Amino acid sequence: MVSGNNKTLFLQSFGLSVALAAFCHSAVSAQSHGAPPTSSTSSTSSTSSTSSTSSTPAAHVSLPDIAALKAKVEAEPSDPKVRYAYAEGLRKHGRGKEASHEYLTVTELEPSFYHAYHQLSVVNQDKHVLEEAISRLNFLKEEKPKDMFLRVALSELYEKKGDNYTAGKTLVELVYANAVPEKYVHKINQRIRFLQSKTKDAQAHDKAYGGDEQMESSPPPLPESTLNRDLSISKVKEPKVMQGFGHATLLP
């Protein structure tokens, strides 16, 4: 199982990604309607450019010794923590493609090393690597359907793939199962709402430029009221479905 330290690191990155993603999404939406960029947008861009998840090395940061990290991997090839450190070193040197393959190997060694999946959702550009990671988590989900860390990581990978509907649905199912600890409810709610907003924006864009073509996916299955741990399906209003979008079921 993944260690407590790795879970903490994963949730810290998740919290940061939720806040930055939500802010950037609202800023982009405002600019698309003619609103000028604000100084806070520039500040956020500056902050995100120096984030620990950036694949571009910073000049003032002392970069890790890749040769030494690789030597450790060769000495202990089955240690996921050692390989993760090597992947992090590659990422910090701007070698995102190589880092992605190492992160994937970490998940082969330890399928529940969730922070490796998070890093894949940040730096990976290879669709085959992404599909492999998603497949691995979906397989693990059959064994651990209520594992919040697993579902958050899976949601991030689906978002990276561009499937915001499934990314949101993955978390909504967790809420319906009352599997979100109270202290994480707010962050999970934020992410669900963010994914809902992205999906609706994509639908509006496709409707405007797609002519008579119908979208294959329906709006994300998100409740209208505030989510909470004792939420039951009977208390949830049916999501508004635009005509012609179909009626995909919320739960399997």
- Condensed to tens digits (0 to 9), the pLDDT of residues 198-214 reads 988 877 877 777 654 44
Average pLDDT on 157-175 reads 95
Residue 82 is assigned to a structural domain of this protein: yes
Mark whether 226 and 194 lie in a shared domain: yes
Mark whether 135 and 166 lie in a shared domain: no
Model confidence at 81, pLDDT cuts 50, 70, 90, reads very high
The confidence score (pLDDT) of residue 74 equals 97
Residue 16 predicted with pLDDT over 80: no
Residue 184 is assigned to a structural domain of this protein: yes
Residue 137 predicted with pLDDT over 50: yes
The confidence score (pLDDT) of residue 215 equals 46
Residue 57 is assigned to a structural domain of this protein: no
Owning domain of residue 171 = 162-208+217-237
Number of domains the chain contains: 2
Closest C-alpha to 53, from 117, 1, 3, 137: 117
Mark whether 129 and 191 lie in a shared domain: no
Residue 25 is assigned to a structural domain of this protein: no
Mark whether 175 and 123 lie in a shared domain: no
Mark whether 81 and 115 lie in a shared domain: yes
Instruction: Characterize 166-195 residue by residue with b for buried, 16 or more Cβ atoms within 10 angstroms of its Cβ, and e for exposed.
Output: bbbbbbbbbbbeeebeeeeeebbbebbbbb
Residue 199 is assigned to a structural domain of this protein: yes
Residue 179 is assigned to a structural domain of this protein: yes
The whole-angstrom separation of Cα 153 and Cα 14 is: 9
Residue 55 is assigned to a structural domain of this protein: no
